[in-house]
Every structure is written in C-alpha cells, then in structure tokens.
C-alpha cells in the first residue's frame, strides 16, 4: 500500500535515528548545559576542571586533548539507554541506586521526559472516604505531581530526582510508597512545606540543575561575550547541517572522519562546504574554532538529533491536544533482525485535517500480545497519552505479528472498548490475491513458470554474448520493472526477508509485460535454448515448452483479467483522499464485475481473445472437444476430462470463484458494518430534517433509523 510505503520510509529513517540515540543520553536541557559549560571552557580550562566535578561528566563536549576520555564517555553512555527509563513513577528505581556517574544522566533523562501526568487516563475509583478517584485538576495546581498508572498512586517528581532521602525520617508518601488519599488535598501543601523543607530544597537543586547559569559554581567562571556569540553561531550551523541531513534521511557520519580523510562523512563535509562558501561560517568553524569546541563530536550530533526528535514529537502532541486518536502499529526489524515496534498516531488536527504522524519506535523482546501492548502503552505514556482516548487501531495483518494481532486487538479493546480494529482495505485486497495465487494449483504452476523464465533470462545476460545480452537485458528490464521475485541470488535473502505478500500488485504488471513482450521473450528463450552451457540450455528449453503452450497463455490472460479488476480497486483504495463509503462501493463493484465474468457470454469472449492471441503467435490451440493433455506437468495427476471442461470449469470458473470467495470473506466483516453505522450516523441529521419537512410520523422515523443501523 502506498501509504504504508511512505510510513515505512519514515520508520526506516527513524530507526536509524533511534539507533544513533542508543549511545547518547541527551535532552534538550543538556543543550543548555553545553551552552554553559562549553563557552566558559575556552578561556580558562584549568578552572573548569575544578568546577566541573559537581557537574555532569557526560554532558561535556569532546575534549580533544585526550581522546581516551572521550571514548570512555561514549562507552559509558552506551551502558544503558535513557530512552528506556520507565516513565511510570511506580516502576522507577531510586536515583541513588544508579551508579554515581550515571545519576545526572538519569536525572536529565527524566527531566526531558517531564513528570508523568497522564491527564486523559481513566483513573480508577477507590473507597477513600466515599468513592473517589485521582483528581486531574491537581496536575494544574502542582506541576511536580506525578501519577503512577501501575500503582494508582501519586508521587513527587522533584523529590524523586533531588531530595535527600535521609531527611525524610518519618517517611513521606510522595517519595516512598506513593500517596493515595484523594480526599486530603491539604497533604499536598503539607508536602511542599516551608521554605526550608526538603521538597523546596530539592526544588532549588532542580532549578539549578536545569539552569546551571544560576548555580554559584558557574558564576565564578569568566568568559567573554564574544566567545559566547561565536559559540552560539557554531552551534546554530551544526544544528542547521544536522536538520538538513535529518530531513533528507541521510547518514551523518563517515567511515573515516579524520582531518586527512578524503570523505569525512555527510555532516562534516556539509559543514566544510558551508565554511568554504560563506565567510561568516568560516570565521567560527573548522580551523578557526577552538579545538575543544568544534561542535562536531558524535555525542553532540546525537544530542542535537535527539533534541530535534523531542521537539518534533512535542509539536505533534500539541497538535493533538487532548483529543481522540487512533494508533497504527507495525513491526519493523532493523538490520540486525531485531524486532522493533513502530507506532504512528492518526488524528484530526486543529484545522480539521486527518493527520498521520510517526510517534516512535520501541524495541520489543518478543512479539507476544502482552509485550506489544506494554510497548505501545509505555510509548504513549511518554507522550502523556493513554489508551482511554484511543478510538481505533490498525495493524498489518500480513506481518510477522499476524498471530498475535488478535490478542493485542482484544487487549486494547478491553481497555478502550471504542478502539475498533480496522484492517487496511488495500492490504486485505492484497491478501485475497495471495490466497488465490497460493491456493490454486494452476496459479502456483503459472507463477513458478514465470519465476523460472525470469531466472533464465536473468542469468543469461550476465554470461553471454553481447547481442543477446542486449536483447535479454531489454526483456529483463521490462519484466523487472514489475519486480516479481526471481527466487535466486542473495538479493532475496537481504531485501525480501519475507515473500512479498503485500506487494502483489506488481504481479499484474509482470503478467501484462509477459503478454506484451511475448514474441521477444520467445525469441530470447529460443536463442538460449541453443546455448553451449548445458544447464542454461535445458532450463530455457523447459521454459520455452511451457510458454509455447495454450495453458500458459490461457492462464496469463485469465490472471491479467482478474488482477486487472483488483488492480484498479487497489489503486483506488490507495488514494489518500479515499472516502471509506466509496471504498466499500468499489469493493462491491469489483465483486459485481467478477460475477459478470462468470457468465457464459463473457467466457466465450475471453476464449476468443485467447485463441486469437495464440493464432497470431502461432501457438497450437487445442480442440475444445478433445481430451486435455497437460504441458510440463505429469499426466497422471489429471483426471481425464475434455478440454472445454478443463479450461472453462477447472481453470476459468474456479479461479474466479476463489477470488470472489476471498473478497466476500475478507470484506464482509465488522469493519464494513462499522462503516455503515458511520454513514448512517452521518446522514442521520438529514433523515430527521427530511421527516420533519415531510411531516412523517415518529414511528416511521424510528423505523428508518433502526433500519439504517441494522443495515
Ligand atoms: Zn516533593
């Protein structure tokens, strides 16, 4: 499906980004910290080493004076992934339990995620001085407040990050076990306490942490405004270059990024080019930048990339506000064949347009339904979304997750009953084609033969004489534009891990090309049949025998006709602005056409077409009253029948029936009904107006309403 392709490319681009993120621990705040640290580092390096102790090591940019340190930092960063920190406060481990070197990185990670405030969650009721649930308005009043979906408890974000636990001698619910007394709002103010309270102390630490400018340590550092300006300019250029690369989905790094390298990778080359072109850029980058403030280190690149990702998702969430949305999920394994779950949301934006946006990728250990659901919930939670606002779900029914989809579907519907599952129509159509092509013996034999032809023609062009090569190349190119799998070579292993079940539209192209290039194809195969290489020769001869048969031509024409109808439907379904009611009508229309095709006069026309094609290309047309003799397949597997019966009933009707049956079974389910409901609902106001205007009775109104719903 076209739209899926677009999404897939998005996902791929983001998968790369995500991989880059794994070695980093960056946040937007970190950027601010750079701002503070890098600037001052230039004038007086010695001072910094002293003051640096209390600040985070990892946030520092590359220190070129000793490469080892930088490398050490990178491996340290790689130990754990800040992106995988549990967002739910009930699942977190105390900051103190992280190693001393990691604590600040973890804090920064949590600050970037922000307090866990799932405002749209359906908070459960509990017996707390009468039936009560968590009051959402508390989030507005106390920005430090967090809610754990896991435990149904409230926590303090600031105290979790910075409070000195030794101060809570008696224990504080907001820090330890969680607070659940929804009937006692005064406790929240009590937790904040006086100006010297532990919470306020933690808050001060928090403020200093996110604004190091305010910390006493940094005020000691002297630096010139000029350096600051230059630093900002450098950072801006780095961000600009990275944004360009991200938008184009290009890689940032090169194999050899040293100064002597002839190709330093996209990022550095782009920045170099920019410097060569513009005086302003040259003045502050490359040779003219201090060696410890180049703004090109890998860690800085990943930081900036992360910031871009965060800013982008922030905008998406702002656009969505607290509104309803649907989720679209698909598995996408990365180059290491690791299962990843890519999640997109679909919603109506502020301007009333239906929008689909990529939200992120989560790594999943396995593809069981509960793991998938947890992954989806946690990813949504990171963006302060919950399933309670989910009004639809869509998955790729042909994927590796196929078996688990039903489980996942039910699990999500348990939580949000209105999250209807709707299978993509274009996808479903593809599946009908797959079913037909794989279940019908004649179709399987036909496609096997097509694959063989492609292989024979494909191999010859690598090995043989120039003349034939050119001719074969022409055929091959024409055939391969349809991109049918050839079943040979490494290409299939790499590019097509799974058989292209979802790309069956391309088979239509292949068949139509075979028919269009039939004489050339025969000529090329004929030449290969006289070849010196024995294996080639035999294969080509076998292929030639098959394609010169009436069976092959008959089947090619039949599939071309059937796939022709479905191809039209497929194209119509893939249109971005396709109306769902219209789509259902199109499906019905395709069914109707196929039904018509079954009729006798259609069969006669079809047979006439095939016969005239055979006559034109001098292929022997069997006598319809004679007995059937199979070509290229053993006789003993066929019941002795007349040609007319074989071609009309066993091939023509059975393939059409199978396609019809598949269409009926796959498109006649709850999703169709749901769409009828929707349409009935849409037109309901007009129905009322009609009845009011015509003065029809109330009973009639109700009757018609019921009728629309039962449709
Ligand atoms: Zn607190």
pLDDT tens-digit map of 392-409: 888 765 455 555 566 777
Ligand 1 center to 94 CA (angstroms):
14
**pLDDT at residue number 240:** 93
With a cut of 90, say whether residue 242 has pLDDT above it.
yes
SS (H, E, C) 416-481: CCCCEECCCHHHHHHHHHHHHHHHCHHHHHHHHHHHHHHHHHHHHHHHCCHHHHHHHHHHHHHHHC
The helix/strand/coil state of 385 is: coil
Q: Please classify residue 238 by burial: count the beta carbons closer than 10 Å to its beta carbon, then call 0-12 exposed, 13-18 middle and 19+ buried.
A: buried
Each residue's pLDDT tens digit, 291-336: 888 888 888 898 899 888 888 888 888 888 778 888 888 777 666 6
Ligand 1 center to 157 CA (angstroms):
7
With a cut of 80, say whether residue 48 has pLDDT above it.
no
Ligand 1 center to 153 CA (angstroms):
14
Ligand 1 center to 178 CA (angstroms):
11
Ligand 1 center to 36 CA (angstroms):
27
Ligand 1 center to 103 CA (angstroms):
18
Over residues 33-48, mean pLDDT: 37
Tokens 């220190």 map to which residue?
63
- Looking at 54-68, 116-130, 214-228, 448-462, which range is the least confident one? 54-68
CA distance 269 to 199: 49
Which string of b and e fits 192-225 if b means at least 16 CB within 10 Å? beeeebbbebbbebbebbbebeebeebeebebee
* Nearest alpha carbon to residue 657 among 567, 566, 562, 540: 562
Over residues 574-600, mean pLDDT: 78
Structure tokens at 153: 């408890």
Q: Do 60 and 239 touch, CB atoms closer than 8 A?
A: no
pLDDT band for 270, please (50, 70, 90 cuts): very high
Ligand 1 center to 27 CA (angstroms):
23
DSSP 125: P
Ligand 1 center to 191 CA (angstroms):
6
pLDDT band for 244, please (50, 70, 90 cuts): very high
With a cut of 60, say whether residue 658 has pLDDT above it.
yes
Residues whose CB is under 5 A from ligand 1 (ion)?
156, 159, 199
Name the range with the highest mean pLDDT among 19-28, 469-478, 593-602, 662-671.
593-602
Ligand 1 center to 156 CA (angstroms):
5
Each residue's pLDDT tens digit, 428-451: 777 777 777 777 888 888 888 887
Q: In sequence order, which residues have a C-beta less than 8 Å from that of residue 28 and are 6 or more positions away?
A: 112, 307, 310, 311
Ligand 1 center to 140 CA (angstroms):
16
**pLDDT at residue number 277:** 92
Over residues 278-302, mean pLDDT: 86
**Is the torsion defined by CA of 582, 586, 587, 588 positive or negative?**
positive
Each residue's pLDDT tens digit, 326-375: 888 877 766 666 777 888 898 888 888 888 888 888 877 777 778 888 88
Ligand 1 center to 149 CA (angstroms):
19
Over residues 100-111, mean pLDDT: 85
Structure tokens at 88: 């739910």
- The more confident residue out of 670 and 26 is 670
CA distance 140 to 10: 35
Ligand 1 center to 626 CA (angstroms):
92
Cα 176 to the center of its chain, rounded Å: 38
Ligand 1 center to 193 CA (angstroms):
9
Ligand 1 center to 694 CA (angstroms):
66
pLDDT band for 571, please (50, 70, 90 cuts): confident
Each residue's pLDDT tens digit, 176-232: 788 888 888 888 888 888 888 888 888 888 888 887 665 555 555 556 777 788 888
**pLDDT at residue number 37:** 37
Ligand 1 center to 163 CA (angstroms):
7
Ligand 1 center to 281 CA (angstroms):
46
Over residues 257-279, mean pLDDT: 89
CA distance 113 to 116: 8
Helices (H) and strands (E) in the chain, counts: 30, 9
Ligand 1 center to 92 CA (angstroms):
16
* Nearest alpha carbon to residue 373 among 389, 393, 355, 356: 393
Ligand 1 center to 146 CA (angstroms):
10
pLDDT band for 577, please (50, 70, 90 cuts): low
DSSP string of 48-77, one letter each residue: HHHHGGGS-STTS---TT-HHHHHHHHHHH
**Is the torsion defined by CA of 7, 8, 14, 18 positive or negative?**
positive
Ligand 1 center to 487 CA (angstroms):
63
Structure tokens at 362: 């989560």
């Amino acid at each position: 499906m076209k739209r899926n392709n677009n999404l897939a490319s998005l996902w791929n681009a983001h998968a790369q980004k995500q991989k880059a993120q794994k070695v980093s621990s960056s946040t937007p705040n970190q950027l601010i910290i750079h701002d503070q640290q890098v600037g001052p580092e230039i004038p007086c390096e010695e001072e910094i080493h002293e003051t640096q102790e209390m600040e985070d090591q990892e946030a520092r940019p590359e220190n070129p004076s000793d490469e080892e340190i930088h490398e050490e930092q990178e491996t340290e960063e790689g130990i754990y992934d800040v992106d995988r920190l549990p967002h739910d406060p009930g699942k977190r481990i105390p900051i103190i339990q992280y190693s001393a070197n990691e604590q600040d990185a973890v804090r920064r990670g949590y600050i970037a995620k922000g307090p866990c405030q799932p405002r749209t969650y359906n908070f459960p009721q509990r017996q707390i001085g009468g039936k009560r649930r968590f009051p959402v308005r508390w989030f507005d009043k106390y920005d430090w407040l967090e809610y754990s979906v896991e435990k149904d408890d409230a926590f303090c974000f600031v105290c979790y990050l910075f409070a000195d636990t030794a101060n809570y001698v008696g224990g504080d619910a907001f820090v330890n076990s969680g607070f659940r007394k929804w009937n006692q709002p005064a406790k929240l103010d009590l937790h904040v306490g006086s100006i010297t309270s532990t919470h306020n102390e933690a808050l001060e630490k928090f403020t200093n942490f996110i604004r190091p400018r305010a910390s006493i340590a940094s005020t000691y550092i002297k630096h010139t405004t000029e350096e600051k300006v230059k630093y900002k300019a450098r950072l801006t250029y780095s961000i600009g270059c990275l944004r360009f690369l991200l938008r184009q989905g290009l890689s940032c790094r090169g194999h050899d990024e040293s100064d002597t390298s002839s190709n330093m990778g996209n990022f550095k080359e782009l920045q170099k080019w920019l410097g060569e072109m513009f005086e302003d850029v040259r003045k502050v980058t490359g040779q003219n930048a201090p060696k410890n403030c180049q703004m090109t280190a890998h860690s800085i690149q990943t930081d900036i990339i992360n910031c871009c990702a965060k800013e982008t998702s922030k905008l998406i969430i702002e656009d969505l506000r607290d509104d309803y949305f649907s989720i679209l999920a698909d598995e996408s394994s990365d180059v290491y064949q690791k299962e990843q779950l890519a999640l997109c949301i679909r919603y109506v934006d502020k301007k009333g347009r239906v929008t689909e946006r990529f939200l992120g990728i989560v790594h999943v250990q396995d593809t069981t339904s509960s793991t998938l659901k947890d992954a989806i919930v946690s990813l949504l939670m990171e963006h302060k979304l919950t399933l309670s606002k989910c009004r639809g779900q869509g998955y790729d029914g042909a994927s590796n997750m196929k078996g688990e989809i039903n489980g996942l579907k039910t699990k999500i519907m348990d939580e949000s009953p209105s999250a209807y599952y709707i299978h993509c129509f274009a996808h479903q159509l593809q599946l009908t084609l797959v079913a037909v092509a794989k279940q019908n013996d004649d179709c399987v034999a036909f496609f096997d033969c097509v694959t063989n032809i492609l292989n024979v023609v494909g191999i010859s062009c690598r090995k043989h004489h120039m003349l034939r090569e050119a001719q074969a190349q022409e055929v091959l190119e024409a055939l391969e534009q349809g991109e049918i799998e050839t079943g040979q070579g490494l290409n299939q292993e790499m590019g097509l891990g799974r058989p292209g079940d979802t790309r069956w539209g391309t088979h239509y192209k292949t068949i139509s090309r075979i028919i269009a290039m039939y004489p050339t194809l025969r000529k090329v195969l004929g030449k290969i049949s006289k070849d010196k290489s024995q294996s080639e020769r035999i294969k080509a001869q076998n292929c030639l025998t098959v394609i010169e048969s009436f069976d092959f031509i008959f089947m090619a024409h039949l599939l071309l006709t059937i796939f022709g109808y479905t191809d039209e439907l497929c194209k119509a379904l893939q249109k971005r602005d396709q109306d769902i009611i219209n789509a259902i009508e199109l499906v019905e229309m395709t069914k109707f056409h196929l039904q018509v095709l079954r009729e006798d006069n259609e069969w006669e026309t079809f047979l006439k077409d095939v016969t005239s094609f055979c006559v034109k290309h001098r292929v022997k047309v069997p006598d319809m009253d004679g007995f059937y003799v199979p070509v290229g397949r053993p006789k003993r597997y066929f019941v002795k029948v007349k040609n007319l019966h074989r071609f009309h009933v066993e091939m023509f009707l059975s393939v059409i029936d199978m396609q019809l049956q598949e269409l009926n079974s796959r498109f006649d389910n709850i999703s169709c009904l749901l769409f009828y409901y929707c349409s009935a609902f849409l037109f309901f106001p007009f129905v009322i107006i009609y009845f009011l205007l015509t003065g029809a009775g109330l009973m009639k109104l109700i009757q018609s309403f019921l009728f629309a719903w039962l449709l």
